[in-house]
Amino acid sequence: MVEGKRMRLLGVCLASVVLLSGAFSAEGDAPKADVRMPEINATVEKAIDKACQWLAKNQNKDGGQKSSYSCAATGLSGLAWLAAGSTPHEGPYAKNIMQALEFTLRSTAKNGFISENASYGQSGMYGHGYSTQFLAQAYGMIKSEELAERVKDGLTRAVRLIEGAQNQYGGWNGSPNGALNDDGSGAVAIMQITALRAAESCGIQVRQQVIEKSKKYLLAMTNDAGWYAYNWHARGGGGMGGSIATTGAGMYMLGALNQHTDSKYPKGIKNIMNNIPGKGGDTGFGGWYAYSIFYASLAIYQHGGAEWAQWYPAMSNQLVRSQSADGGWNDSYGGVFVALSVLSLELPYRYLPMFQDGGAGAEGR
């Protein structure tokens, strides 16, 4: 790829990353350190810095996180460092991002599946989704032609695997086998769709029939009361039929795929707002608190308005209060929960395409 074409592609990707004019220079410099959105105060900023440092200390020499779910944890950590304003070449976490990229590429099998040892590791399609998102978000920021080509190749193969692994319902399973009977969860689908949209925003071709089939899946997974189910066979009728842990992810993606006009969407947003963190209504988040907080926050952030103005201070206060002195949170997955928690705090920075209005790639309202 010649330099001129590379710079044009950089422009396409960075255009979706930046909300404020001037946050990046024309030459693709890192975000300016003094760019700060009003929702981020000094206390939250300190918590973000501590968490990013925790993730950096948890990184192995090979670039992966010290976790049994190293691909999932590494992909999420890379996203967290990018969301803090670093790029693969500039910023305090540039070296960490570069090492994470190399680890992710080494973990990519010939068929495009990204998992531990480029095999069928514990991260499964969860880790594949997060790793693909990381490659897509970083791709447009890479200045090295050689690395950019390798990332593009890995990203393209990862996208093809997602497309080929879609199951009969329009979702995805826990392993890259679309023939299985929806053994995964609705959350797996969210991660794959987000990855596809992020890849598409950086010029990777995505089969639109896969996206259209996933839209039907998302709507079918959401009942008339606005609850998003755990998997296809757990769909409910007019009752709850889901949880706040799953509904945040479902409403985020319905909004990202421009389905906010469906009557189920506002009901789902209301269900999330009835579970504002720290106000006694978030007990339904359960043991996957960081995961639930992240996707619920994405859904409300994208929805915007008075709901976001109410949600973010409550959510950020809760996470700041529960953060450990070393910068982490209660995490039995080796950095997965820490990364999800700090990503929730970083939303107002808007440095990632998935953190833009409309989210998850090229589409928006």
pLDDT at 234: 80
Under 8 Å between Cβ of 185 and 246: yes
The pTM is what? 0.87
For 318-354, write each residue's pLDDT tens digit: 999 999 999 999 888 889 999 999 999 999 999 887 7
- Over range 12-35, report the average pLDDT: 35
pLDDT at 272: 96
Query: Measured between alpha carbons, how far is 195 from 192 in angstroms, rounded to an integer?
Result: 5
Under 8 Å between Cβ of 218 and 257: yes
- Over range 99-123, report the average pLDDT: 92
pLDDT at 237: 60
* Domains of the chain by start residue, with CATH: 3-355 (1.50.10.20)
pLDDT at 365: 30
- Which helix (H) or strand (E) covers residue 304, if one does? none
- Over range 165-172, report the average pLDDT: 94
Residue 108's φ and ψ, nearest 5 degrees, are: -95, 120
Residues 6+ apart with CB under 8 A from 260: 254, 266, 303, 365
Q: Which residue has the tokens 């090979």?
A: 62
Query: Measured between alpha carbons, how far is 21 from 123 in angstroms, rounded to an integer?
Result: 37
pLDDT at 257: 92
Residue 111's alpha-carbon distances to 61, 118, 176, 195, in angstroms, are 26, 10, 10, 17
Sign of CA dihedral 106, 108, 109, 110: negative
Q: For residue 184, name the pLDDT band (cuts at 50, 70, 90).
A: low
- Over range 227-255, report the average pLDDT: 83
Under 8 Å between Cβ of 306 and 260: no
Does residue 299 or residue 122 have the better pLDDT?
299
Of 289, 296, 351, which is closest to residue 323 (Cα–Cα)? 289
In whole angstroms, how large is the CA radius of gyration of the chain? 19
Residue 228's φ and ψ, nearest 5 degrees, are: -95, 130
Residues 6+ apart with CB under 8 A from 349: 31, 35, 37, 40, 83, 84, 85, 355
